Structure 1
Amino acid sequence: MVSFSSIALATAAIAGAVALPTNSTESLLARRAGTPSSAGTHSGYYYSWWTDNAGQATYTNLNGGQYSLSWSGNNGNLVGGKGWNPGTASRNINYSGTYQPNGNSYLAIYGWTRSPLIEYYVVESYGSYNPSSAAQKKGTVNCNGANYDILQTTRVNQPSIDGTQTFQQFWSVRNPKKNPGGQISGTVSVSCHFNAWRNVGMNLGSQHNYQIVATEGYFSSGSATITVS
């Protein structure tokens, strides 16, 4: 969560907040309408939904491994999806559906480990922002017939599954990405990525937390309906 780190966008967000007139006819509740953050199990799958409540976002758990998400307002950060808790280092994850971002967004295998605390992404598609542009490239790997850039970043005093922490982010970013804007599907063998990370000195924690197929948005808008298995 909170993976995008553009200083310019953060500055713009602060400026926008300061500029908002106190007598605006648009209420705070209207601007922040949507689904509150939550996590748990639904229809045999684990789900996680997090939002900073800065924009309008609706997350819905559907039957089985399916979920839908729509967001608008070009404001704030959100990430949600379905999968498993705990995750594993050997799962083959299938996803299919529609993914239509407008601006900064990811569609990714997303998860966390502890000991150490690591946030990780296997990015299958993204909107206007390529996460490879703001991370340290460590190598490349071919998994499930596609090439991925391996990257690492550090998050300092940021939200995590253990509160505000400093931790590493591990990335595999598909290159080229799967085109967004409509139907999308694929298979991700997480062991291929985890082994490649380990080979370049990026070691996940010994304790897996959740592992989901997530849609993330940052100061953007869009929609997704994804089925996970």
Structure 2
Amino acid sequence: MLDVGVIGAGRAGVVMAAALADAGHRIVGLSTTSERNRERVEAMLPGVPVSEIPQIVANSSLVVLAVPDEALPVLVDGMSAAGLWRPGQIVMHLAAGYGVGVLSSAVACGVIPIALRPNLVFTGTSIDRQRLRDTTATVTCPAPVLPIAQALAIELGCEPIVIAEEDRAAYAEALGVVTTFSRAVVEQATGILRNIGVENPTAVIASVAKTSVSDALSRGQWPQAPLTADEEDV
């Protein structure tokens, strides 16, 4: 069992804390400055304190950095400059666009670095705990640390997939394409239907969207020749 502290109690941070608690780890605290996030912690993790970063790090054997990608480098370097890290601590971040290089100042203090990102869009609700069990998690870390990273992914319920340090930017781009374009397509389609007077456009396109994505994913799994006209569904 690890003592886990989470820096950032947004949608991803609180779900990761809850999932690690489900796996048998002890959550020592989460940090946030947002009242909304405090309420989220109370709802998802009753009894777990919201604490200051130095206190959380001092009491944790695993520190999860659940902050936006753009905030991660400044946070890590600031914590390193403040001397908060302890040798042997596991430090894991969730930022898709970074590998473990962003943790270099913490590594210089003796921490064990892991980049682990579950491949889903977090809602910050209990539904994510089930979704974690149906998805994969990308992991990037030094080779000797890989068994730890893979074990953490499995404890979350995810299938671990290893991504090389130099490929993290491309991986983040792929996630961004899926997220941005799927939202844009749904918004455009529902807008068209709303303009012609359909009261519940989501109900009209929901099954089409889900089956289209499912079909596209199945085709993306294996290389296939393009369909000819008579093979297309009518």
Q: Which has the higher contact order (CA 8 A, sep 6+)?
A: 1
- Higher Rg: 2
Both proteins in one fold, TM over 0.5: no
TM-score (norm 2): 0.30
- More strand by proportion, 1 or 2? 1
